[in-house]
Amino acid sequence: MNTTANKKSKTDGLTQELSRLIGKENVLHILEDRICYSYDGSKQKYLPDVVVRPQSTQHVSTILQFAHEHEIPAYPRGAGSGLTGGAVPLRGGIVLDFTQMNRIVEIIPEDLTATVEPGVVTQTLQSEVAKHKLFYPPDPASAPFSTIGGNVAECSGGITGLKYGVTRDYILSLEVVLADGSIIHTGRKTLKSVTGYDLTRLFVGSEGTLGVFTQITVKLLPLPEKIETLLVFFATPQDAVKSASQIIFNNLLPRALEFIDKSSITCIKGYNQEIQIPAEVNALLLIDIDGRESSVKTEASLIEKIVLENRALKVIPAKSHKERDALWEVRRAISPALYNIAPYKINEDICVPRSRILEILDRIADIHKRYPSLKVASFGHIGDGNIHVNVMYDKGEQQKALAEKMIEEILRNTVEVGGTISGEHGIGNVKSAFLSLEIPPGELKIMKDIKQLLDPKGILNPGKMFR
């Protein structure tokens, strides 16, 4: 039998078995459907043999029991917005699409908790809890479409990270289906619990390689009364970085503290006609301050004073909700606007100690001198030391190879200054070759031993995290 026929009979066999187990309405097998699940935000393509859309924890358990028994690879998937290939079915097999398990099970304002299924879209959770004047702070830029399950698996962060932390800081307990189909519960729905090892933290950020989440309990905060936004122009990136440090050094903790460099500014110039950025501006800070109305006003004026002392050229406060949205729209426009510079890009999400930000930016500028045909734009959550370094290149294998070489140098330098190769997007298969740059052999062995213990047959998201 030829390979195409083999693949078809594999799909047919799996479809038959899985339809029997969880109902044919929850199994997708035609090519057009499978193509839709063959890629994610990393733009790689690997066709799954079959896609299942579980409706319950029991469905997930049944699917994994079957996959385990027959040693078939299984890949949990939320919205497929991951940037490191976490959801791509690298070795064929079964994709578990969680978008049908999207119920908000309960919101308990008295306990400041919510329990959700993994397919709930992040922004849906944010707006549902806001109806109770509550706040779910983790805020990846993908919040309008990414799922809580994907956020937990990647330990996603966002613009609120400096003040409020990342996804891991809000996960209280998890219902997890293990590779063999057994169901476990980690943590408690309490704000505190130190009983036993912290299995919840082990699963957060595990990128679908250790277990599959079917229910997630998150911690909530009271919704801040007021948010004020400032856009600040600087002549040099050094002034912007120093201002950011000074703001934090003065015990102020903005909700967001975003840095935008000259190349990124060039891309977004003219994006919003109301926001004119003069030619002498070589760096921007975009700052959100939140809290009670009175304290927000005081903090905003203190921050204005600090940036002006650090040679800010101009401070533009948003005077209305509409103006605030317009300022943030400029920030959100950067990523797509970078394609104005070159048709291809590699987007890195390095994170360094805040005290080393200027050093890593200088090192990146030095590295760039050795790759004059490539373009570099950096922006990101400077408050957390998390910089999105974008290396852009033109079509052609040679350009791509150069960009990859430059990225490797940037990652090596990041680790040298005490940073991490991924602050937000995870490892997946895109960065697995670089894991050992940061994780020493002893620690890597512990990680692999944990994987072996929880998934001895290696069926959960194979080829991710480790090579």
Ligand X SMILES: Cc1cc2nc3c(=O)[nH]c(=O)nc-3n(C[C@H](O)[C@H](O)[C@H](O)COP(=O)(O)OP(=O)(O)OC[C@H]3O[C@@H](n4cnc5c(N)ncnc54)[C@H](O)[C@@H]3O)c2cc1C
**Which among 70-78, 279-287, 316-324, 432-440 is the span making contact with ligand X, rule CB under 6 A?**
70-78
Residues 120-159: x where in contact with ligand X by CB under 6 A, - otherwise, as a string: --------------------xxx---xx-xxx-xx-xxx-
Assess 212 for contact with ligand X (CB under 6 A): yes
Which C-beta is closer to ligand X: that of 118 or that of 233? 118
Task: Please spell the DSSP secondary structure of 422-464, one letter per residue.
Answer: BSSS--TTTSGGGHHHHS-HHHHHHHHHHHHHH-TT--BSTTS
Establish if 77 lies at the interface with ligand X (CB under 6 A).
yes
Q: Which is nearer to ligand X, 96 or 281 (CB)?
A: 96
Instruction: Name the minimum Å distance from CB 84 to ligand X.
Output: 8
Q: Does 379 bind ligand X (CB under 6 A)?
A: no
Site size with ligand X, rule: CB under 6 A: 35
Quote the least distance from Cβ 91 to ligand X, whole Å: 13
- Pairing of β 94-97 and β 375-381: unpaired
Query: Using CB under 6 A, which of 37, 46, 98, 379 touches ligand X?
Result: 98
Contacts of 269 (CB under 8 A, 6+ apart): 277
Q: Select 154 or 290, whichever has its Cβ closest to ligand X.
A: 154
Cα–Cα distance measured from residue 232 to residue 290, given in angstroms and rounded to the nearest whole number: 17
Among 46, 75, 135, 379, binds ligand X (CB under 6 A): 75
- Widest distance between CA atoms in the chain: 75
How far is the C-alpha of 177 from the C-alpha of 59, rounded, in Å?
10
Assess 83 for contact with ligand X (CB under 6 A): yes
C-alpha span between 36 and 329 (Å, rounded)? 29
3-state secondary structure of 104: strand
Judged by CB under 6 A, does residue 424 bind ligand X? yes
79: contact with ligand X by CB under 6 A: yes
What 8-state DSSP symbol labels residue 237?
H
Helices (H), 370-423: 397-416
Q: What angle do CA 167, 420, 245 make, to 5 degrees?
A: 80
The smaller minimum CB distance to ligand X, of residues 212 and 277, is found at 212
Neighbours of 248 (CB within 10 A): 16
Q: Could you give the string, one character per residue 32-51, with x where binding to ligand X holds by CB under 6 A and - elsewhere?
A: --------xx----------
Q: By the 8 A CB rule, do 47 and 5 touch?
A: no
**Smallest distance from ligand X to CB 369, Å:** 29
Q: Under the criterion CB under 6 A, does residue 161 sit at the interface with ligand X?
A: no
Candidates 11-19, 80-88, 247-255, 391-399; binding stretch for ligand X (CB under 6 A): 80-88
Q: How far apart are CA 93 and CA 331, in angstroms?
A: 39
Which residues lie near ligand X (CB under 6 A)? 40-41, 75-83, 86-87, 98, 118, 140-142, 146-147, 149-151, 153-154, 156-158, 207-208, 212-213, 424-425, 461
